[in-house]
Amino acid sequence: ILNVEQSPQSLHVQEGDSTNFTCSFPSSNFYALHWYRWETAKSPEALFVMTLNGDEKKKGRISATLNTKEGYSYLYIKGSQPEDSATYLCAIHVNRGSTLGRLYFGRGTQLTVWP
Amino acid sequence: DAGVTQSPTHLIKTRGQQVTLRCSPISGHKSVSWYQQVLGQGPQFIFQYYEKEERGRGNFPDRFSARQFPNYSSELNVNALLLGDSALYLCASSAGTSNYGYTFGSGTRLTVV
């Protein structure tokens, strides 16, 4: 069993606030980290795939950083909008032979942005 | 280009029954993975298939089985349904077994009563 922890479990912010949340994972055998955005009744939407220590990715107002040595990633949303309301899932690949193809997910952070 | 499609979207079954869920991957994707998400948890890996062969299996009982067809679509079968099998079942497709891009369908919501 591989534990991927996300915090906080839920977050409520006002429109215009900036916010961030954390994904923690075991650093051994790390291969890649994925961030997904998941709106209710829709399919999870891929935001970022990150592989290298120190990676920083950005997509509009959303950005992410990766620290593979200490086993964590941060997701930042600048100037949150109501349409950012969703569950943000973190998942990792580990390089352990036959398990390479599977993703290990955290429980997600549920973000609600109030107008 | 159509995304990953799953059918049915919702399903209600009785304990002890059997269920088949279907998934069509993105055109050109040869790998299909299945995940189960129960309320309050992250998705859990069930199976991965690539080129019609099983490439990985998660910690699920033998009541769970799957297969992949020549057109790369896939079916997930669950026999002898238990109440605890109630969950959202997600399918993801990718071009290979361990490359980075995974595209998910919107899932099948299974309720066992």
From A86-95, A99-108, B6-15, the region with the lowest mean pLDDT: A99-108
Q: Do A104 and B45 touch (CB under 8 A)?
A: yes
pLDDT in tens, A91-101: 998 876 666 67
Q: What is the pLDDT of residue B99?
A: 61
Scan for tokens 């599977």, then name that residue. A102
Q: Mutate which of B49, B68, B98, B108 to test chain A, going by most A C-beta atoms within 10 A?
A: B98
CA nearest B31 in A: which residue? A101
Three-state secondary structure string covering B32-86:
EEEEEECCCCCCEEEEEEECCEEEEECCCCCCEEEEECCCCCEEEEECCCCHHHC
Buried-state track A55-91, b at ≥16 Cβ within 10 A, e below 16: bebeeeebbbbbebeebbbebebeebeeebbbbbbbb
The two tokens of residue B50 are: 């690539």
User: Residue B98: its chain A contacts at CB < 8 A?
Assistant: 31, 93, 100-101
Q: In sequence order, what are the residues at sequence separation of 6 or more whose Cβ sits closer than 8 angstroms to the Cβ of residue A92?
A: A2, A4, A25, A30, A31, A32, A33, A34, A103, A104
Contact A102, B56 (CB under 8 A): yes
Q: What is the pLDDT of residue B101?
A: 80
Amino acid, res. A41: A
pLDDT in tens, B33-42: 999 999 999 9
pLDDT in tens, A32-51: 999 999 999 899 999 999 99
Q: Is A16 exposed, middle or buried (0-12, 13-18, 19+ CB in 10 A)?
A: exposed
Q: What is the pLDDT of residue A7?
A: 97
